[in-house]
Structure 1
Amino acid sequence: MPSSSSVILPLFCALLLLSASWAASDSIEKEFYHCVCSNTIVSIPISEAFFIQNNSAFTSILESTAQNLRCLVQSRHKPELIFKPLDEFQVQVAVICARKLGIQLRVRSGGHDYEGLSYTSETKSSFFLIDLANLRTVNASIAENSAWVQAGATIGEVYYWIAQKSRTHGFPAGLCTSVGIGGHITGGAYGTLMRKYGLAADNVVDARIVDSSGRILDRESMGEDLFWAIRGGGGGSFGILLAWKLRLVPVPAIVTVFTVRRTLEQGATKLLYRWQQVADHLDEDLFIRVLSRPTNSTDDQKGKRTIETAYQALFLGRADRLLKVMKKGLPELGLTQKDCIEMSWIESVLYIAEYPRTIRPEFLLQGKPLLNKVYFKAKSDFVKEPIKEHALEGIWKMFLEQDSPLTIWNPHGGMMSRISESETPYPHRNGTKFMIQWLTKWESGDDEETIKEHIDWIRKLYKFMTPYVPRSPRAAYVNYRDLDLGVNSIDGGTSLAEASSWGTKYFKNNWKRLVLVKTKVDPENFFRHEQSIPITDAFSTAKKKRKEDWHGFI
């Protein structure tokens, strides 16, 4: 039911509709605006909350948090309207109004969506975008060892506000600080603390969500099946995530970081093969990821390109203990005291995100950086057996064909191996040694030839890797969405067998349970996109309709 402060303000709405851009807009946008405005207090001017395509601010709002420029090219279909609600109640009303008017919604909390499905579409189907950028409150309680965080907050903001309350508390989420926390955790969310504490999704104790009927539910009212599904089952399928309640984890007052680089001429291939053998078995206080990319050779080989591997690490302890752990577990890296840097956990967040050492933690409050946006295409793999040296040499050969490819290898093990694959929808647990992210990036040019060149290359690399990664299925990470794996029919008519082509890769044996939960909580498939969880075929073909309880709004 509407709160006591939510009243109908028809005069205020009418005055706002005098805007010239709205006077010329299509009727469906007007109807949506009237519906939302008539059922909640719209306390900000229309120019700051509702944006249609002929509005001068539309493009800047659409691009404000989008990180992959490939998803903004002309061929991608954009929303007819962007709505930026100020509070959770306005999100609720927006869902109810969209249902009433037959509008498809997409929801963006961050914009790092690798295929841009939260704010664009590959189909011609029209949709409205709910942008949660205004919902970014973070309330951390050290006494309760928890924090409520709204979906539009970045993980950098979450880290900052936790650190403001305590130097010895943290949270195990991602490494890229501009990611929106809402969508991030719906895919599982890994980071430097995963070997010690698991994924972000493993450390969620409550949530608030707007379901397809327009109800705001918490863990108790949504039930354990839906609570299970939203913690790793992918965004945009089950409702609109409003907020997470996070369990904070202990971190030392002083942690240690390092980055050690090795090129092919310095034995990078043999070292990476050794890292694969031990990375998931090292002390769980230690996280070492490997970033590999082409670079120029040293001066004596001027003009020749080579491959550089960078071993970047966070250790939950002081340098003296880290050196002992490394001497026992990976002496081949040759880590020295000089390589080690001691700092606070919040400073390590900035270090791992590769910000300059002069950047202070307050920088994290800026949310989305406007720089460093690129065009990119990504893929992912999960590896259970070390990739042999001859295969690594094949990867390097292909990398030298491209200008700026990148691969990031993130170790599992530790707590990740002690959590059941069915505990959350994220199934890549026991037996997984590490995850690979493959990336091809380019900085300019949205012409078809440039895009095709890069996408053809990464598909070729992905095919090359087929013999060296597990199959049946070949697993992938849902937060690195890849439409090459398969897509739904946007009208919701995709069969379960068709959707399984990509669904089993992301979720393995958890796929069927996700479909059953989706069918139960959203039987009309209201929340959908190219890779949303489908409903079962029986519900899809019947196109079952049910009378909705509009909670007194409409």
Structure 2
Amino acid sequence: MKISWFSLLLVLFVFSLTSWEALADNHDEFIQCLSHSNQTSSFYTPSNSSYSSILQFSIQNLRFNTTKTPKPLVIVTPVSEFEVQRVILCAKKTGMHIRVRGAGHDYEGLSYVSEVPFVIVDLINLRTINVNVNDKTAWVEAGSTIGELYYRIAEKSKTLGFPAGIKLVDVPEKVIVFTLDKTLKQNATKLVHKWQYVAPRLQEDLFIRILVSRLNSSDQDGDNKQTIVASFNSIFLGGVDRLLPIMQENFPELELRREDCIEMSWIQSTLYFAGFPRGESIDVLLNRIQLSTRYFKAKSDYVNQPISEKGLEGIWNLFFEDEAKASQVILSPYGGRMDEISPSAIPFPHRAGNLYKIQHLVYWDEEGEQVAERHINWIRRLYSYMTPFVSKFPRAAYINYRDLDIGVNNIKGYTSYMQAKVWGIKYFKINFDRLIHVKTKVDPSNFFRNEQSIPSLTKW
């Protein structure tokens, strides 16, 4: 039996009309459900004048803010926990897919992009923070930024800090920070190599990370030259008189001097690590508007054994390629308290045995698919080069540096355990199976889902 092209196109056209009619019905039913549920929160559709500004307000990665980026049918901004519940119930009732947007970074845009028709539940109005100094805890609503949390803690105490953990911790009234930049001529390769042996084994109140990037410099003749700069970026929870002997004993090659050390409060150090100039008011932590946004792609790795100097030189060579003009790798040491916690204590499993974590980053400013493809291909080449030097079985990754290259779920239809395991064990290792069992009990229909959400074992 033969089917003509005309007949096939007619069938597809009718199917398309049916799909869009069903979609429109779901959309209308969802709006009606919200309207009938005594909602005081606002909702925005593409016909609203504020729709675009609300959508773009929290977007940090321009890769997901193009004309081809799928847009939500509705954006809802609840003002209470009760209203969040009502939005979820309306979405379930009308078959609408949702994406929940808080205030953190979202490397792959999963909180505001979907390949199927969807609604954004934007928690921007839910940002109450209550700090209890006596028991060193804080109740934080999901729409709060980390900057707002730091600020509210500093309002209540000069000797409490937040290490992005479970509880607030004691910190000195004053801490020491320093940043030492070392180029290849200043033995950057040897210093980075030595750092791998030193940083994970330093005492717990001293943290030294490295930011590696490409640098354009001039030689004695005034000619522009490209080199690599490794920035040793540190915080010490103590005074300079304690710090200098520790550095002299453990890392004399870095040649830290008293004049390199800057004393400030812990809250000011959060601005220092974020790259703000000295003297910036801590009020900047309350600013929810992005100071700058760029296109970027990130990946992550864990290192269990020191990388040789030759291996490091191979990384530097990749940094001299055209697409790496605005690239960076950030090496963050583990050890210390991280080694003392069981891998199964909480879902985050990356504990003893890891020397440090790597964040690979590439940025660009020019729009266009071909430009994006070139830069993304570059960071994939870097990631491929790193294979012999990083963790194996699985090659671990850090979930807060989300990377869809390592595997995704099916957004339409059922995702099998084996399919999800491809990416799941890289983020969660031995805890992935436990997370799946919890998900199956709590959300058997897999209503809350995205490309890298824990799937339910229930076939729905």
* Aligned partner of residue 450 in structure 2, secondary structure: coil
CA apart distance, 1:26: 4.2
The answer for the alignment partner of 2:20 in structure 1 is: none
CA apart distance, 1:150: 0.6
The answer for the alignment partner of 2:82 in structure 1 is: 89
* Aligned partner of residue 300 in structure 2, secondary structure: strand
Q: Distance in 2 between matches of 1:493 and 1:357?
A: 52
Q: Distance in 1 between matches of 2:391 and 2:168?
A: 34
The answer for the alignment partner of 1:63 in structure 2 is: 56
* Aligned partner of residue 143 in structure 1, secondary structure: coil
Amino acid at match of 1:33: I
Q: Distance in 1 between matches of 2:365 and 2:107?
A: 16
Report whether the alignment pairs 1:275 with 2:195.
yes
Q: Distance in 1 between matches of 2:33 and 2:309?
A: 62
Higher relative contact order (CA 8 A, sep 6+): 1
Q: Distance in 2 between matches of 1:256 and 1:30?
A: 57
Q: Distance in 1 between matches of 2:218 and 2:333?
A: 29
The answer for the alignment partner of 1:416 in structure 2 is: 338
Asked if the contact 1:162/1:170 (under 8 Å) is kept, the reply is yes
* Aligned partner of residue 347 in structure 1, secondary structure: helix
The answer for the alignment partner of 2:8 in structure 1 is: none
Cα deviation, 1:263-313, whole Å, max 9, x if unaligned, reads: 001000000000011111001101111000001124426311000010111
Q: Distance in 1 between matches of 2:304 and 2:94?
A: 49
Asked if the contact 1:79/1:120 (under 8 Å) is kept, the reply is yes
CA apart distance, 1:27: 4.3
Cα deviation, 1:221-278, whole Å, max 9, x if unaligned, reads: xxxxxxxxxxxxxxxxxxxxxxxxxx21100001010000000010000000000111
Asked if the contact 2:26/2:95 (under 8 Å) is kept, the reply is no
The answer for the alignment partner of 2:423 in structure 1 is: 502
Alignment of 1:43-192 (within 5 A): 49-110=42-103, 112-121=105-114, 123=115, 125-173=116-164
Report whether the alignment pairs 1:514 with 2:426.
no
Q: Distance in 2 between matches of 1:366 and 1:28?
A: 36
Unaligned runs of 5+ in 1: 1-24, 174-199, 204-246, 544-554
CA apart distance, 1:41: 4.4
Amino acid at match of 1:54: S
* Aligned partner of residue 430 in structure 2, secondary structure: helix
The answer for the alignment partner of 2:302 in structure 1 is: 382
* Aligned partner of residue 400 in structure 2, secondary structure: helix
Per the normalisation by structure 1, the TM-score is: 0.77
- Number of positions where the alignment pairs a residue of Structure 1 with one of Structure 2: 435
Q: Distance in 2 between matches of 1:302 and 1:407?
A: 26
Amino acid at match of 1:499: A
Asked if the contact 1:492/1:528 (under 8 Å) is kept, the reply is no
Please give the root-mean-square deviation of Cα atoms over the aligned residues, in Å. Answer: 1.4
Per the normalisation by structure 2, the TM-score is: 0.92
Report whether the alignment pairs 1:485 with 2:372.
no
Structure 1's 298 and 326: CA in aligned 2 closer, same or farther, altered over 3 A? farther
The answer for the alignment partner of 2:259 in structure 1 is: 338
Structure 1's 111 and 140: CA in aligned 2 closer, same or farther, altered over 3 A? closer
Using the aligned pairs only, state the percent identity.
50
* Aligned partner of residue 253 in structure 1, secondary structure: coil
Q: Distance in 1 between matches of 2:250 and 2:203?
A: 8
Dislocated runs of 4+, deviation >3 Å: 25-30
Report whether the alignment pairs 1:469 with 2:460.
no
Q: Distance in 1 between matches of 2:247 and 2:422?
A: 41
The answer for the alignment partner of 2:184 in structure 1 is: 264
Q: Distance in 2 between matches of 1:111 and 1:153?
A: 8
Q: Distance in 2 between matches of 1:430 and 1:302?
A: 47
CA apart distance, 1:372: 1.7
Cα deviation, 1:103-161, whole Å, max 9, x if unaligned, reads: 1111010252110011002x2x1110000011111111112321111111111110111
Greater alpha carbon shift after TM alignment, 384-393 vs 290-299 = 290-299
* Aligned partner of residue 279 in structure 1, secondary structure: helix
* Aligned partner of residue 235 in structure 2, secondary structure: strand
Asked if the contact 1:492/1:525 (under 8 Å) is kept, the reply is no
Report whether the alignment pairs 1:459 with 2:457.
no
CA apart distance, 1:443: 1.5
CA apart distance, 1:167: 0.3
Asked if the contact 1:404/1:440 (under 8 Å) is kept, the reply is yes
CA apart distance, 1:413: 0.7
Asked if the contact 2:129/2:152 (under 8 Å) is kept, the reply is yes
